[in-house]
Structures are given as C-alpha cells and as structure tokens.
C-alpha cells in the first residue's frame, strides 16, 4: 500500500511516456489516466451507461463498444457537449487513478494526468502530494508532435493551442523536468526526483 502520490502532467508530445518508463524502471507504480479512460467506458461499466444515457445509442458500435470516432464528432467544437462528457468521465477516471495509487506496492505512486491543468488542477486532485510537470520548449514539442503523428505544422499548432498553456502548467508545478530531447538528461532528472520522493514518502509513512 502506498500513501504518497505524485501527479505527472505535461503538454502533448512533451515526453510523459518516457518519464513514466524512467520511474517504472525504479519499480514505481504508474497509473495512467489515458489508459484508464478506455477502461471506464468498457461494456458493463457505469460510465459507459451514463455516456449512452446522455448522448444516445448512436455512440455505440454494433458489439456494444463505445464508438470513439462518433463521440469525438459529437463533442468536437461543442463546449456544452464536451463538458457533459467530461462530467461523466473525469470523476470515474479520478476514482480509478486514486484506487490504483492506494494499492501500489511501491513506496510512492505516480498518477499521469495529461489534462491535469485543464481538468481542475489541485482542486480536482486534492490527494496529490506533489505535481511534476514535463516542460518542453515549444519548438521541440511542435517538431516532435509533427514527427510522431505525421501531421503538418498548422495542425500541430492547433492541437497544442487546444491544451493549457505552458505557463498555466508550470504554475501548478512543484517539480519541473525539462525535456529538450536529451534522453540522458531525462533519466538523470528521474533518478534525482526518485531519491527525493523516496525521502518524502518515508516522512509520511513514519
């Protein structure tokens, strides 16, 4: 059981997955909101029932699975519909994140929440002891996103603009990991933070 929790966030293509792997290599449990977002809408889950009740059966495929493409079309560009979807999914995802962190068999646990800033920040996640932000220079982030997704500069800029700003994310940070593309630097930062978190977690459990 773990009782010390770190939130990990960062913009799109900032390097969150690479940082997750660095902490996992130390044996630290990492709960990822993106993965849990798929789990909470599996057939039989209360969140999927709530989505269908709000948006209709047109968002389901023939086999009962959520039709993500249809749902994206439904909420894209419609703030009211998007907020309605988030009101259903975010509480379910937060509850699953907390449950996984609490049952972690590592000294502390990490909850990766890509949209932590957009989803209410510390107010929505009062159980996080610290928030770690992966900070990437805008030019590096843009180039990485274009390469990763095979998109042009205009679409990359639009995707980045749809998220919280770099300044807004950094305002939440207790710890900042600069990811400018140097993997060795990222690993070194993870090693340093791991030692710090072990010490902090020990003070809570003692």
The band of 69, judged by pLDDT with boundaries at 50, 70 and 90, is confident
Using one digit for the tens of pLDDT, what is the confidence trace for 140-163? Answer: 999 999 999 999 999 899 889 888
Rounded-to-integer distance, Cα 186 and Cα 22, Å: 8
Per-residue pLDDT tens over the stretch 3-26: 999 999 999 999 999 999 999 999
Residue 38 reports pLDDT greater than 70: yes
CA angle 61/74/13 to nearest 5° reads 95
Distance CA 3, CA 117 (A): 23
Give buried/exposed letters for 162-191 (b at 16+ CB in 10 A, else e). ebbebeebeebbebebebeeeeeebeebbe
Check residue 122 and give its pLDDT: 95
pTM: 0.90
State both tokens at 1: 């059981």
What confidence score (pLDDT) does residue 82 get?
87
| pLDDT of 75 | 85
What sign for the dihedral angle of Cα 201, 202, 203, 204?
Answer: positive
Beta bridge partners of 31: 111
Is residue 146 within 8 A of residue 187, CB to CB? The reply is no
Tokens at residue 130, please? 């610290």
pLDDT by residue (tens digit) across 24-35?
A: 999 999 999 999
Domains of the chain: 1-28+105-206 (3.40.50.300), 34-103 (no CATH)
How far from each other are the two terminal CA atoms of the chain, in whole angstroms? 14
């Amino acid at each position: 059981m773990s009782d010390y929790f770190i939130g990990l966030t960062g913009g799109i293509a900032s390097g969150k997955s690479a940082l997750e792997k660095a902490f996992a290599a130390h044996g630290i449990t990492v709960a990822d909101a993106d993965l849990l977002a798929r789990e909470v809408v599996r057939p039989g889950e209360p969140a999927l029932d709530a989505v269908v009740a709000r948006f209709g059966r047109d968002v389901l495929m023939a086999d009962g699975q959520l039709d993500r493409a249809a749902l994206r079309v439904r909420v894209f560009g419609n703030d009211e519909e998007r907020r309605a979807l988030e009101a259903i999914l975010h509480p379910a995802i937060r509850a699953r994140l907390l449950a996984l962190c609490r049952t972690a068999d590592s000294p502390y646990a990490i909850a990766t929440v890509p949209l932590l800033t957009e989803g209410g920040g510390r107010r929505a996640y009062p159980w996080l002891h610290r928030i770690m932000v992966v900070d990437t220079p805008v030019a590096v982030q843009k180039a990485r996103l274009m390469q990763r997704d095979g998109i042009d500069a205009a679409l990359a800029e639009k995707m980045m603009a749809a998220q919280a700003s770099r300044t807004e994310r950094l305002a939440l940070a207790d710890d900042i990991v600069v990811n400018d593309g140097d993997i060795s630097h990222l690993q070194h930062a993870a090693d340093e933070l791991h030692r710090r978190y072990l010490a902090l977690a020990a003070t809570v459990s003692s």
